[in-house]
Amino acid sequence: MTQAIAPRSRKVRILATLGPASSTPEMIATLFEAGADAFRVNMSHGDQQSKVAVIQAIRALEEKYGRPSTILADLQGPKLRVGKFEGGRVTLEKGQTFTLDRDPTPGDATRVELPHKEIFAAIEPGARLLLDDGKLVLRVTSHAADTIVTEVVVGGALSNSKGLNVPDVVLPMAALTEKDRSDLAFAVDQGVDWIALSFVQRPEDLAEARKLIGGKTALLAKIEKPSAIERLEEIVEACDGVMVARGDLGVELPPESVPPLQKRIIEVSRRLGRPVVVATQMLESMITSPSPTRAEVSDVATAIYDGADAIMLSAESAAGAWPTESVAMMNAIGEAVERDPTHGERIHFTVIRSDPTTADALSEAAKNIAHTVDAAAIICFTASGSTARRVARERPGVPLMVLTPNLETARRAGLLWGAYAVHTKDVESFEEMVAKAKRMALRHGLAVAGDRVIIIAGVPFKTPGSTNVLHVVRIIGDELKDYI
């Protein structure tokens, strides 16, 4: 039996990662009720078979609540690691020489295996090597085909198979490993809505994933490497959505550089009309505590004021002791920020210049007219979701109802700012479009008798990319009979 749930009053979306603390059908439903709009399935942990039940539980929300569900599958990407040590652990001292080589013999305090030939081909003198999430720092002094000689800049304990970051060079490595290709095929077969690609260094890294996806799902690029920043606009143009992966960015770059980069990535993504997710350590202390720090609350609020489409919980909802409370807190912060009278002005600090197209012109006009006539909602008829993305890019001050005959389009809208998607039959005529828009606005509680709503669509109907109609209508009392 369908249990109706009212549209969120908040426009920023919440993306909750599922894991050991939150993978049961009951917990997934609880997180949705607490405010989660979309769910992240992390392919780095567990096997594919364990993900089947999780994906089915997310889809079951559609029947229970009568709303499209949104699933993002996050691929692991290449993981760079050093080899093993005799005894499992060594200590590196500042100023000493330390060598990385291709010899699989267990290492010691002077050397260790580095089983990634691509690094040897790309490394340059002066480049940094960061070990164990940046806790240790090496600087390359010389290199050969099978050895990299470094000076220890920041020392410390180093144990078996610790992670390695190479922030100063572009590595000749594909963004997809064999595991990723298998996981991607699995995710597409399971019908997920978004694929998140890790280790993106350049726009070309997205090409193989695009080919393997075959248009069956949307592609999101995780911006987590300095080399990606250098070609940011090209990468954003080549994908369907973007994630500000602050954890890895904060390892490979000075921490103080991450906040301005976050703002830049959001600005570029918004300008190019791509949904943008801000992720990592947003409410980190709630992994173990039922309440966040004030600094964390401010961090989440900043992302919302910057105009991010979505904000993401990682370990807080996946493995923490307080998953429901984390989602509820994120929801509360979003609602509080969006009640701020200055919120509307602040999210428009980013100047969005419309492209010289009819669809962009009408999307901008819809936002302005909604403000001028105090409309209750903008109602967008779309097949591909392109028109909805254009309207959302304008950050209108009213709800955006997305009516689409394509279930896939409705599901993907779960990461889109302000969007309330409804999977419904297509319309055949202008009159049917107007009547349906009014009925849906009433049925879903986005308008009442006497309200104006703005309709944006394309004629002829069922023609993708034909957005050319903007219509303002008032809902009158008699039309409630159609709804009742």
Strand partners, 163: 81
CA 406 from centroid of its chain's CA atoms: 21
Annotated active-site residue 81? The verdict is: yes
Phi–psi pair at 473, nearest 5 degrees:
-130, 155
Distance CA 7, CA 9 (A): 6
CA 318 from centroid of its chain's CA atoms: 16
Contact 88, 202 (CB under 8 A): no
From the list 188, 180, 191, the residue with the least C-alpha distance to 222 is 180
Q: Which two tokens stand for residue 188?
A: 């597409």
Q: Collapsing DSSP states into helix, strand and coil, what is residue 324?
A: helix
Annotated active-site residue 40? The verdict is: yes
Distance CA 139, CA 260 (A): 26
Task: Name the active-site residue from 10, 11, 13, 40.
Answer: 40
Annotated active-site residue 222? The verdict is: yes
b/e sequence 95-112, b meaning 16+ C-beta within 10 Å: eeebbbbeeeeebeeebb
Task: Name the active-site residue from 8, 64, 79, 81.
Answer: 81
Distance CA 11, CA 402 (A): 13
Give Cβ neighbours of residue 261 (< 8 Å, ≥ 6 apart): 229, 244, 249, 253
Task: Name the active-site residue from 11, 67, 222, 436.
Answer: 222
From the list 374, 381, 372, the residue with the least C-alpha distance to 400 is 381
Residue with tokens 């429901």: 324
Phi–psi pair at 52, nearest 5 degrees:
-60, -50
Task: Name the active-site residue from 70, 217, 280, 382.
Answer: 280
Distance CA 193, CA 407 (A): 10
CA 419 from centroid of its chain's CA atoms: 15
Q: Where are the beta strands (DSSP E) in 246-388?
A: 276-279, 310-313, 377-381
Annotated active-site residue 350? The verdict is: no
Categorise residue 395: left if φ over 0, alpha if ψ from -120 to 50, beta otherwise.
left
Give Cβ neighbours of residue 202 (< 8 Å, ≥ 6 apart): 170, 227, 228, 231, 234, 235
Distance CA 45, CA 10 (A): 31
Q: Around Cβ 328, how many Cβ atoms within 10 Å?
A: 18
Type of residue found at 58:
I
Residue with tokens 């909602």: 377
For residue 460, whether the previous peptide bond is cis, meaning omega lies within 30 degrees of 0, is yes
Residue with tokens 């997934």: 28
Q: Which residues are catalytic?
A: 40, 81, 222, 280
